Chain A
């Protein structure tokens, strides 16, 4: 599995507009709706599920990265969105710093293996400080896609 196997190109946002955590999640989930990964009717429910998970423990790791995620039976396996925010979003990060880079994951509860693999890939990618830095600096979707593909190639 590669990052670009579950991240939908249409749901890669190089300029996230949202200023609050909930709005940021909503914007990314909206992009997944546009990408037809989930239906428009489910948008609200998915955002609620993700925010509920955030309340139990933030996925804002610090260093400007957050990995909001939730289970959702309306997806096939696992789907992801990626977003970059120039201004940064207050995401209750553990180091108190705003998040600039988001990996949002929705996974089918019947397929926990897919979720684990996707998460392992994201963990591996954000270990690479250069990738993280370049992604935060990217200004177009194409640049972000290139960076993600490079990361995929690096890990075969």
Chain B
């Protein structure tokens, strides 16, 4: 049994056999074999080794002929591994004595070597780890061959282990069979995190070497509450896990009763509790967990992982599906937020030293008007199908908002001329996620129908913290008085102008911040589906008087420590079961 600690990004716990994904998405089942099969399996393994050796020598020769003997030598390491008597006998032993299937034996032994390579102080040797993975892939390809199974057709529940999930991998996943994710890299805003939260399954990221530590078929526990991954757990650990899991499920079940209850405070004040989505089908998860709308549809996935731009029809189909699943409930579609950590084939062209302060989001859209108008057309057309709102991200000054609105007016005119239907009263709002927009909220309120505060970026830009950088991540908290004051500024401006105010950042999904946000007069909390029920429970556990009282008190503190400690205390009092 071994335990690894990473970053807990999506709550819950799961135990299942692991599938380790690499770029070729080999799936290695733990298939032990019958003693009678040992001889045949060893022969199969021998064949695979010989074919792999031939491949490597062939590659070596071709590269040597094309670009020279020196470069051909880069295949020597692989050749050495494939002919090393010790390595091969270790693999054979697992098949002979433990009755492992050769695929599993290859993966186990070679990943063990990969780990040893990685641990070498010599950087050159550590980098040879890619050769080890290459040899593993080569052998697996020869062993599994045509039998290679796609992860789109899983037959049993699994835990996915990957370096970092790519959008194409998540798109092809059979979601019904996946119990959890664990990845080498990533942070709270990475793709894996977002997908796990949307699916409502546990995930731990930033485990550094987990793809080398785990072999496909290993039994693995992912504890998304504490950020732990336990490999090949022993019996007592499994028992403890089952008990904790049961407790967690019981709470979920209890929360499940809340699904159809309204999000009202003890004194009858109603809050709109909406969900954040990435894909149209996420709407189902939101509704199953009691959301009454979608407050943030992130549309970046339409752009990612493809070599051309999405067409108007691609956009329209996605929006139409989400809108039809919502059956008359409102949806807020955010225009493309590319750049910084999400790139298309277009935005990736620029090498920016500081992408978070670079040409991202609305700035990118206003420099690629064609792309932007295509999306606006699709959103407008979709607005004929159900209540739809448009939201522009990362607005930093009024000019950007006005330019975006001018382009929207151009598109409306085009649609009118073409006789295409859209909602003529469609609401237009902005994300407030940059301090300049928060400070200027009164000016923006005159030209918007609604605000949605993106607390992740607002916190990062206000505190100058990149929270995926572990050396400074601890400075990141929306409980910092400066962040809270900016949020208060925005709320006051919105309330005075009669503009609806939403919070769609992760802060809205943290039960501890609910009293403050309600106390400030926030109308809409838009959260990841996984946290919907908890947040509803929190809303239903307090009165507006209490919320305002907490709010007043919070603004008397001058450090984030005091704020967060006080809010944790309040939450513990209001919702003791969350801390059980």
Residues on A close to B: CB < 8 A? 53, 56-57, 59, 61-63, 67, 69, 94-95, 112-113, 116, 119-120, 123-124, 126-127
Contact = CB atoms under 8 A, between A and B. Distances in A.
6 contacts: A56-B412, A69-B410, A119-B369, A123-B369, A123-B403, A127-B399
B367 A123 contact: yes
Interface in B367-418: 367-370, 373, 398-399, 402-403, 405-410, 412-413
A123 B369 CA distance: 10
Interface in B527-552: none
B447 interface: yes
A61 B367 contact: no
Contact of B369 (A67, A94, A116): A116
A56 B413 contact: yes
Contact size range, B: 10 to 19
A62 B403 contact: no
A123 B370 CA distance: 13
Given A69-B410, A120-B366, A120-B368, 10 more contacts: A53-B409, A56-B412, A56-B413, A57-B406, A61-B403, A62-B402, A116-B369, A119-B407, A123-B366, A123-B369
Nearest to A119: B369
A61 B402 contact: yes
B398 A53 contact: no
Contacts of A112: 370
B402 A94 contact: yes
- Among A61, A62, A113, A120, residue most surrounded by chain B Cβ atoms (within 10 Å): A61
Contact of B399 (A61, A69, A113): A61
Given A120-B367, A120-B369, A53 B399 contact: no
A71 to B, nearest CB: 9
A94 B447 contact: yes
A50 to B, nearest CB: 11
A59 B406 contact: yes
A141 B183 CA distance: 62
A62 B399 contact: yes
Given A94-B447, A95-B398, A61 B369 contact: no
Contacts of B413: 53, 56
B143 to A, nearest CB: 52
Contacts of A123: 366-367, 369, 403
Contacts of A126: 399
A51 to B, nearest CB: 13
Given A56-B409, A57-B406, A57-B409, A94 B370 contact: no
Contacts of B409: 53, 56-57
Nearest to B399: A61
Contact of A63 (B366, B373, B399): B399
